[in-house]
Amino acid sequence: MCGIVGYNGSSNAAEILLEGLSKLEYRGYDSAGLAVRSGTNDVVIVKAKGRLRVLAEKTNDGKALKGTLGIGHTRWATHGEPSENNAHPHVSDDRNVVGVHNGIIENYQELKEKLLRHDYTFYSNTDTEVAIKLIDYYMKKYKEGPIDSIARAMTRIKGSYALAVIFKDYPEEFYVARKDSPMVIGIAEGASFIASDVPAILKHTRNVYYIGNQQIARIGKGTVEFFDIDREPVELQMEEVTWDAEAAEKGGFEHFMIKEIHEQPKAVKDTLNAFIKDGRIDLSEAGLSDEYIASINNVTIVACGSAYHVGLAGQYVIEKLVRIPVRVDLASEFRYRDPILNADDLVIVISQSGETADSLAALRLAKERGVSTLGIVNVVGSSIAREADHVFYTLAGPEIAVATTKAYSAQLAVMYGLAVQFAKVRGQIDEETYAQLIAEMETLPKKMERVLEDKERIQWFAAKYSNAKDMFFIGRGIDYAISMEGSLKMKEISYVHSEAYAAGELKHGTISLVEDGTLVVGVCTQNSLYEKTRSNMAEVKTRGAYLMGLTSYGNYAIEDTADFTVYIPRTSEYFATTLAIIPLQLLGYYLSVARGLNVDKPRNLAKSVTVE
Q: Please answer whether residues 538 and 562 qualify as being in contact, where contact means their C-beta atoms are separated by less than 8 angstroms.
A: no
607 in active site: yes
- Residue 89: cis peptide before it, omega within 30 degrees of 0: yes
Query: What are φ and ψ of residue 466, in 5° steps?
Result: -70, -15
Helix (H, G, I), strand (E, B) or coil at 321: helix
H-type helices in 26-105, by residue range? 52-58
For 456, residues 6+ apart whose C-beta sits below 8 A from its C-beta are none
Query: What are φ and ψ of residue 174, in 5° steps?
Result: -135, 175
Q: Which residue, 55, 50, 70, 49, is CA-closest to 124?
A: 49
For 143, residues 6+ apart whose C-beta sits below 8 A from its C-beta are none
Among residues 112, 168, 406, 607, the one annotated as catalytic is 607
Among residues 2, 266, 269, 455, the one annotated as catalytic is 2
Spell out where 306-368 has E strands.
326-330, 345-351
**291-308 as b/e, with b when 16 or more CB fall inside 10 Å?**
eebeebebbbbbbbbbbb
Q: Which residue, 86, 91, 89, 133, is CA-closest to 108?
A: 133
Q: Please answer whether residues 89 and 45 qualify as being in contact, where contact means their C-beta atoms are separated by less than 8 angstroms.
A: yes
Question: Euclidean distance between the first and final Cα of the chain, in Å?
Answer: 10
Measure the CA–CA gap between 324 and 308, rounded to whole angstroms.
19
Q: Please answer whether residues 332 and 362 qualify as being in contact, where contact means their C-beta atoms are separated by less than 8 angstroms.
A: no
304 in active site: no
Measure the CA–CA gap between 398 and 78, rounded to whole angstroms.
25
Q: Residue count of the chain, please give it.
A: 612
Find how far residue 323's CA is from the centre of its chain. 30
State the DSSP code for 212: P
Measure the CA–CA gap between 286 and 476, rounded to whole angstroms.
32
| H/E stretch holding 359 | helix 357-368
Measure the CA–CA gap between 208 and 194, rounded to whole angstroms.
9
Q: Which active-site residues does the annotation give?
A: 2, 607
